[in-house]
């Protein structure tokens, strides 16, 4: 059972909509969770997720207050039925940190593996992403309908893999042995970082998006295999976090842009009370690692009072521009702010 399926089952249980068999399954699962040794506990919940739920219960106020006793360690805590069901409710309601804890700690699933003539091929014919490690320790999450091929020995000056479909790579760092991902359309080179490559068989386009670090991408035809992020090819593209490149077979060009939903790279305080607009833009630049282009002279006299919460970057920009009577556009991997300035406000 996957994490998503398990959360849906818990939600049905809490809503009273699950079948008798499903109810029995949940109750049996929790009975085992509290009694079984750590190594024998039923999946899909690993110990790290138990700890995460326990911490979130503490944050939510369970076991807190002037007369409350401290919560016991997670191992003992899970044996308390009422608290177990409170934890079930929190998991089912989708606490923000848990999916990420699951992704980091869930045991890797094995894709179908075949070896022939010194090459290993892993294919994912299941409906769920599957994870495995390469001989160098790099973690690969292979999406449904995708396959990855690599030399079984995985030796030599370069670590080369060949992808059909989509995969997320968390590459073990080794500057002496660059890691290359070949697709039909592009070659992606890293020294050690995390990124996603999407290039399904039969598709004309391909994309590479960076989670962290630096990634060098170039068209596969006439690719310079000696290129690295430190020394990218002249015709290639260097990507940083929150950036992606899309290769169009029709134009045979690489287009650099921001990912659809940039993530916060460096947390910032987003509460501004009559602060210069330039200060707000600088905070957004630092948080998301993006480059803002605007007319500093026109915005020099502009101040704003605004508070951002968990809105996506582009929603934050929309709110800011609305307060200024401005608008923004994306160009390559930059954000361009268009504003007439605040001279009229200053005059009033």
Q: Are 152 and 181 in contact (CB under 8 A)?
A: no
Model confidence pTM above 0.85: no
Mean pLDDT of 107-131: 80
Predicted local distance difference test score (pLDDT) of residue 148 = 96
Q: Give phi and psi for 84, each to the nearest 5.
A: -60, -40
**CA–CA separation, 162 and 150 (whole Å):** 6
List, in sequence order, every residue forming a beta bridge with 307; answer none if it has no partner. Answer: 271
**CA–CA separation, 308 and 81 (whole Å):** 39
Predicted local distance difference test score (pLDDT) of residue 149 = 95
How many helices (H) and strands (E) the chain has is answered by 10, 19
Q: Mean pLDDT for the chain?
A: 78
SS3 90: helix
SS3 140: strand
**Residue 214 banded pLDDT, cuts 50, 70, 90:** very high
| The domain made up of 112-258 is a member of CATH 2.60.120.1440 | yes
Query: What does the domain layout of the chain look like in residue ranges?
Result: 3-105, 112-258, 271-347
With a pLDDT cut of 70, the percent of the chain lying above it is 68
pLDDT beyond 80 at 194: yes
**Residue 14 banded pLDDT, cuts 50, 70, 90:** low
Write down the architecture of domain 271-347 according to CATH. 3-Layer(bab) Sandwich (3.55)
pLDDT beyond 90 at 232: no
- Beta strands 327-331 and 291-293: pairing type? unpaired
**CA–CA separation, 330 and 325 (whole Å):** 18
72 membership: H or E segment, kind and range? none
Q: Helices 313-324 and 277-288, interaxial angle, to 10°?
A: 170
**CA–CA separation, 245 and 191 (whole Å):** 18
pLDDT beyond 50 at 75: no
Q: Are 206 and 196 in contact (CB under 8 A)?
A: no
List, in sequence order, every residue forming a beta bridge with 107; answer none if it has no partner. Answer: none
Q: Give phi and psi for 43, each to the nearest 5.
A: -85, 160
pLDDT beyond 60 at 122: yes
């Amino acid at each position: 059972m996957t994490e998503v399926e398990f959360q849906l089952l818990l939600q049905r249980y809490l809503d009273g909509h699950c079948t008798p068999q499903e109810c029995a399954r949940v109750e049996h699962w929790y009975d085992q969770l509290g009694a079984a040794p750590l190594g024998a506990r039923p999946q899909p919940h690993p110990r790290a997720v138990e700890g995460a739920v326990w911490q979130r219960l503490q944050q939510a106020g369970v076991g807190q207050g002037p007369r409350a006793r401290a919560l016991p360690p997670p191992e003992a805590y899970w044996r308390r039925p009422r608290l177990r069901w409170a934890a079930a409710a929190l998991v089912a309601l989708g606490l923000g940190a848990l999916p990420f804890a699951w992704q980091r700690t869930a045991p890797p699933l094995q894709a179908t593996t075949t070896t022939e003539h010194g090459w290993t091929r892993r294919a994912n014919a299941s409906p769920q992403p599957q994870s495995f490690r390469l001989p160098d320790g790099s973690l690969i999450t292979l999406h449904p309908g995708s396959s990855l091929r690599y030399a079984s020995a995985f030796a030599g000056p370069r670590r080369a893999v060949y992808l059909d479909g989509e995969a997320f790579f968390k590459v073990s760092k080794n500057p002496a042995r660059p890691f290359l991902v070949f697709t039909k359309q592009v070659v992606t080179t890293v020294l050690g970082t995390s990124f996603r490559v999407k290039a399904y068989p039969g598709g004309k386009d391909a994309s590479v998006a960076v989670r962290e670090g630096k990634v060098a991408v170039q068209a596969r035809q006439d690719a310079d295999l000696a290129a690295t992020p430190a020394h990218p090819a002249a015709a290639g593209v260097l990507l940083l976090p929150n950036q992606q490149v899309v290769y169009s077979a029709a134009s045979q060009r690489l287009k650099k842009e921001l990912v659809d939903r940039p993530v916060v790279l460096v947390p910032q305080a987003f509460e501004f009370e009559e602060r210069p607009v330039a200060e707000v833009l600088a905070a957004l630049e630092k948080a998301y690692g993006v480059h803002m282009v605007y007319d500093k002279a026109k915005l020099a006299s502009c101040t704003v009072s605004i508070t951002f919460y968990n809105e996506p970057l582009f929603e934050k920009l929309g709110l800011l521009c609305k307060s200024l009577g401005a608008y923004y556009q994306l160009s390559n991997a930059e954000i361009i702010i268009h504003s007439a300035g605040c001279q009229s406000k200053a005059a009033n």
